[in-house]
Amino acid sequence: MHDTATRPGPELPETMWEVARRPRWIGMLVFALAVAALFAYLGHWQLDRSVESLKPVNTGSETRKVLSDVTEPQTEFLDKMTGQKVSVTGSFAPSDFTVLSGRIQQGKTGYWLVGRFVDSTDQSSLVVALGWGTTRAEAREAIPSIPLAPTVETLSGRYLPTEAADDGKFTQGLQTVVSVPQLINQWSNFSGDVYNGYVVDHRGWGGLTPIYSPAPIDKATLNWLNVFYAVEWVVFAGFAIFLWFRLVRDAFERETEEAEEEAALLAASPPTPTRTE
């Protein structure tokens, strides 16, 4: 007859992921993912709000106005005038047509035909872009079909600022920009006042393609407060997942410590004798 000792050992999880696979923590993970998805959606919504003001908007530029009500000849071109829809009544001046090269039309390079238009109200001159063609010859062939003074026409289109002169290309015999000062020097028998911008007519004169002239873009600045909020929501989404991970790790470490303490107590205590025959 002799005694034996039984020492029931503590159950230790082998890895943290063994704890994570338990139904309780799987349910917590699903909840954390749902919360993270909600936070990510809120971040996306805030980001949309921050860039909303950078999209094309229906501002006052889309209401057509008489050009003389918007500005006057020989006056500074203001930023708020850019893209304003205007109308003007007058006649085309003979012999004052110019073909510009290197003009982009929805991804294609071609030619513009521009002319001098004389406002019938005050006899001031205005540069008008009349249409786009694929070749220089096509642009020139449209000139004879344009009615000249004394025929009166009413034009409508967008008012845009004069472009900076490209003296380098001009000296090479190429004219690529709508520069009012450059064009004035080429006009015959010109005298009087001139507008410091030009109008892109909405029609395509003489069979030319109408020049693409979209609505102006609102220049409001990016709302950085909304961007900050968007970043905050993304951080919160990441924190929801991290919190789940941290809770699982704490549970694993707690179970490991408790098991080690229990094992130490069992090792320090005398074994419980059992009698066997």
Map out the domains of the chain as residue ranges: 15-55+220-242, 60-207
Rg, the chain, Cα only: 39
Query: Which of the 8 DSSP states describes residue 151?
Result: S
Task: Report how far apart, in Å, the C-alpha atoms of 36 and of each of 105, 198, 226 are.
Answer: 46, 53, 19
The rounded distance, in Å, linking the Cα atoms of 102 and 22 is 69
Q: From first to last of its 277 residues, what are the pLDDT tens digits of the chain?
A: 445 444 555 566 667 888 788 888 888 889 989 988 998 888 888 877 776 555 554 457 888 999 999 999 999 999 889 999 999 999 999 989 999 999 999 999 999 999 999 999 899 999 999 999 999 999 999 999 999 989 999 999 999 999 998 766 665 567 899 999 999 999 988 888 999 999 999 999 999 999 999 888 765 556 777 777 888 888 988 888 899 898 988 888 888 887 777 777 777 766 655 555 5
Instruction: Tell me the two tokens of residue 229.
Output: 């909020």
Output the pTM of the full model. 0.60
The rounded distance, in Å, linking the Cα atoms of 95 and 113 is 12
